Amino acid sequence: MTLWFDVTDIHNWTHPHLTGIQRTSVGVLSELLAIRKDLQLFVFVPSDNVLRPAEVHSLPEIVRDCIFREKPPLSHGMAPISYTPKASFPTRVRGYIFRTSRSLKASFRRQPRKWLGPEITDALKEALKAARNLVRAIWRKLFGIGPVRTSSPAFNSVSAESVLFKRGDVCISLSATWGLPHYGDTIAANTHQSGAKCINLIYDLIPTLYPQWVLPDHHVFITAWVRQQIENADLILTISEFQKKEISKYIADQRLSLKPIEFVQLGDNPNFKASATGDEPLPLPRFVPDRKFAIFVSTIDVRKNQGLLYHVWCRLAEELGSQCPQLLLIGSEHLHVSDILYQIRTDSRVRGLVVHLRNITDKELAWYYRNCAFTIYPSIYEGWGLPISESLSLGRYCIAGNRTSLPEAGGDFVDYFDPFDFAACYKLVYRAVTDPEYVRQCEDRIRTNYVPHTWAMTAAHISEIVDRVGGLDRQAAIG
């Protein structure tokens, strides 16, 4: 048996740091490389709609650094591939149109009718709306975005030379591949023709169940991707018991094929754990707080609830004056947050107190974790809540929302509040700020009793599942 690991979304990673899904892929891959000799990597090539083998050394430097950490580079006997898969031309055009549309709409919001006049502004808005609708219509026509298609006529079969897998193999995808037309069809063609098994990880159903948090076109094609990932899978992985229930309910409601679903707990040992918890000095980050501070490590997003903390810090500033701590919002901005970030930047009550930091390196983040007073995570909806469990693994006190999967991530070591309850959040933050002895006692209990879940443990669980799924054919053959 060969275990084929999908590295499609990290093969051309260009950002200076990894985000949630990519951190998961790299954390698991790093440990699987150490425990499995049958591991091979593959990528989906959108321009050719094929799967091709990849070599670990062909991955970007930022990815390799996170994979190997303190391990020496390993080779799996394959020469580095000589091509660089890129998004298909329609994907690039489509992305350009929607990015331009969003940029122009933001300009209109900032400068309403001021420099173009109302007639031109209104006409441009209508033209942009028509262009977006046209792109969606063309996209659905060309790529079948809509009801799931598990056997597209164009992909009913592939040539024998193009089939990457063999009978008895298992392919596993932890990747964010929803922006790639025909990805699911290509996986289906390879597994159906070869008889290989497929394991897919679905982190959450946020774009499908909560379209208000994503772009309209994302809701459509991610929902189609989710449905096909379910149909293609012999077994579905997810990252919390809460999400397992959500996916099970979705499959039943949509009358999709019933599939076994297993919860796999994510590792919470960040790559910088040693430096964040050790005694060795750390270099100062680019931004050094000038007073006591708390951190919120997350994408700036509506569902992450940074708006609640803005109002909490406004009240703290009024109550505590010069004793009010800073709040560092560490993460890149996502959708629908320009208004709240504008308020944070311009509100005299919190200017300089609530600080947004983007493109933070792991070394800088380690410094912030080591020196912060506490961490906070008021998210409304999550698949898991990795910043909570990472905070605990580093011995830091955390305040968090009590919805969805967050209590699974924090257990009995976190103080919770309803993320829609301003007063409850303020009460906990005020205590953390004004009663450092309470925070110290909580952190003593965390460091004494919290048992981190390492990426090695996550990978070992996934490896056991792979052997079980791959063994089905062998058991059938013996029988």
Per DSSP, the residues of 288-326 read --SS-EEEEES-B-GGGTHHHHHHHHHHHHHHHGGGPPE
pLDDT the model gives residue 430? 98
Q: Are residues 304 and 423 in the same domain?
A: yes
Question: Nearest CA to 205 among 185, 174, 226?
Answer: 226
pLDDT the model gives residue 6? 98
List the chain pLDDT tens, one digit each, 479 residues.
Answer: 999 999 999 998 988 778 889 989 999 999 999 999 999 999 999 999 999 999 999 999 989 988 886 443 333 333 332 233 344 444 445 555 555 555 555 555 555 555 566 777 777 777 777 776 676 566 555 544 444 444 444 445 566 678 999 999 999 999 999 989 899 999 999 999 999 999 999 999 999 999 999 988 788 889 999 999 999 999 999 999 999 999 999 999 999 999 999 999 999 988 777 778 877 889 999 999 999 999 999 999 999 999 999 999 999 999 999 999 999 999 999 889 999 999 999 999 999 999 999 989 889 999 999 999 999 999 999 999 999 999 999 999 999 999 999 999 999 999 999 999 999 999 999 999 999 999 999 999 999 999 999 999 999 999 999 999 998 554 444 44
Q: Are residues 184 and 222 in the same domain?
A: yes
pLDDT the model gives residue 126? 74
- The one-character DSSP state at 59 is S
Of 98, 122, 143, which residue is a domain's last?
143
Q: Are residues 21 and 154 in the same domain?
A: yes
pLDDT the model gives residue 15? 81
Domain extent, residue 118, equals 89-143
Counting the structural domains of the chain, the total is 3
Beta-strand runs (E) in 300-432: 326-330, 354-357, 374-377, 398-401, 415-417
The answer to whether 98 touches 128, Cβ cutoff 8 Å, is no
Q: Are residues 298 and 433 in the same domain?
A: yes
CATH number at residue 340: 3.40.50.2000
Q: Are residues 331 and 466 in the same domain?
A: no
**pTM for this structure?**
0.80
Q: Are residues 162 and 263 in the same domain?
A: yes
- Residue 315 to residue 430: CA distance in whole angstroms: 10
CA distances from 18 to 149, 309, 452 (A): 32, 25, 21
Q: Are residues 192 and 112 in the same domain?
A: no
The CA-based angle 111-353-303, given to 5 degrees, is 65
pLDDT the model gives residue 145? 42
pLDDT the model gives residue 136? 59
Q: Are residues 54 and 98 in the same domain?
A: no
Q: Are residues 119 and 196 in the same domain?
A: no
Q: Is 442 helix (H, G, I), strand (E, B) or coil?
A: helix
Q: Are residues 22 and 109 in the same domain?
A: no
pLDDT the model gives residue 342? 96
Q: Are residues 286 and 252 in the same domain?
A: no
The CA-based angle 243-180-178, given to 5 degrees, is 15
- Residue 433 to residue 325: CA distance in whole angstroms: 7
- Residue 383 to residue 20: CA distance in whole angstroms: 11
The answer to whether 372 touches 344, Cβ cutoff 8 Å, is no
Q: Which helix (H) or strand (E) holds 41?
A: strand 39-45
Q: Are residues 72 and 16 in the same domain?
A: yes
Scored b (16 or more CB within 10 A) or e, 294-311 reads bbbbbbbbbbbbbbbbbe
Per-residue pLDDT tens over the stretch 168-202: 999 999 999 998 989 999 999 999 999 999 999 99
